[in-house]
Amino acid sequence: MNKLQKIKKILKKMGSVLIAYSGGVDSTLLLKLARDVLGGEVLAVTAVSPTYPQDELIFSKIMARNLGVKQRVIKTCELKNRQFIVNRSNRCYFCKKELFRRLKEIAKKKNIKFVIDATNLSDNNDFRPGSIAKKELGIRSPLAEAGFTKADIRKISKRLKLPTWNKPALACLASRIAYGEKISVPLLNKINQAEAFLKRQGFIQVRLRHYNGLCRLEMTPKDILLAVQKRGLITRKMKQLGYNYVTLDLEGYRTGSMNEVLKKA
């Protein structure tokens, strides 16, 4: 049995599902497959807060509508949790616990059997304390259960003609902030504005890593030369947003770079 057959079998056995839907490549494939297998027994729930990139909500609504899936948008309140905003290395646990608790409540009210997310096997390569909250609350991950990696997801998404097949990876805006620095709405908004500006300059896969008055910019290696060419424009904008120093990471974009300090500790 191949991976695609396996996940369809898993979903069919579930009967009805609530999907934590962000609009990213992973959750869009999961939403598509669940809709194909379960028809109307699928609900996509998209959680919004200052930690969620603002332009992604519109995209998630378009995708849910195009796939013919009911969507509900909720607001989460992780920024009211002191254990989250103090920004220790386990901050993701508190954010995910808030999210999955809310999703479980919705599923119970609507008699939906399972809450699922789009975790895949490639996610095991990074430090993800949010996975503890997922286990505590009984959240299932069909993509991981069926053996899907990130490469598998992009390959099948392309075959199914999903526009997300080559979409850049998404991540919570809080993941841009160095551990130990307090998370706040103004800071999240500043990071969102900075990354939106960089995308308008043609940088598709880009991350701004925030260290108080310094920002470290990560982008794909092929875009580093473009960044050097536009260094004056980029530097002016970043300083307008309050950064004293603007640096370019020559190693390029990679997921979980903020966790590299944990591996060395």
Read off the pLDDT of residues 87-107 as tens digits, 9 standing for 90 and up.
Answer: 999 999 999 999 999 999 999
Q: Are residues 217 and 91 in the same domain?
A: no
pLDDT at 21: 97
Q: Are residues 142 and 15 in the same domain?
A: yes
pLDDT at 169: 86
pLDDT at 265: 47
pTM of the predicted structure, to 2 decimals: 0.89
In a domain, 164, yes or no: no
Domain of residue 203, residue span: 173-264
Q: Are residues 9 and 45 in the same domain?
A: yes
How many domains, the chain?
A: 2
pLDDT tens digits, residue range 197-212? 999 999 989 999 999 8
Q: Are residues 41 and 69 in the same domain?
A: yes
Q: Are residues 18 and 73 in the same domain?
A: yes
In a domain, 59, yes or no: yes
Q: Look up the CATH number of the domain holding residue 145.
A: 3.40.50.620
pLDDT at 91: 92
Convert the chain into a string of H (helix), E (strand) and C (coil).
Answer: CCHHHHHHHHHHHHCCEEEECCCCHHHHHHHHHHHHHHCCCEEEEEEECCCCCCHHHHHHHHHHHHHCCEEEEEECCHHHCHHHHCCCCCHHHHHHHHHHHHHHHHHHHCCCCEEECCCCHHHHHCCCCHHHHHHHCCCECHHHHCCCCHHHHHHHHHHCCCCCCCCCCCCCHHHHECCCCCCCHHHHHHHHHHHHHHHHCCCCCEEEEEECCEEEEEECHHHHHHHHHCHHHHHHHHHHCCCCEEEECCCCCCCCHHHHHHHHC
Q: Are residues 23 and 53 in the same domain?
A: yes
Q: Are residues 59 and 153 in the same domain?
A: yes
Q: Are residues 154 and 201 in the same domain?
A: no
Please check the confidence at residue 10 and state whether its pLDDT lies above 50.
Answer: yes
Q: Are residues 96 and 188 in the same domain?
A: no
* pLDDT top residue among 39 and 258: 39
pLDDT at 257: 64
* pLDDT top residue among 196 and 171: 196
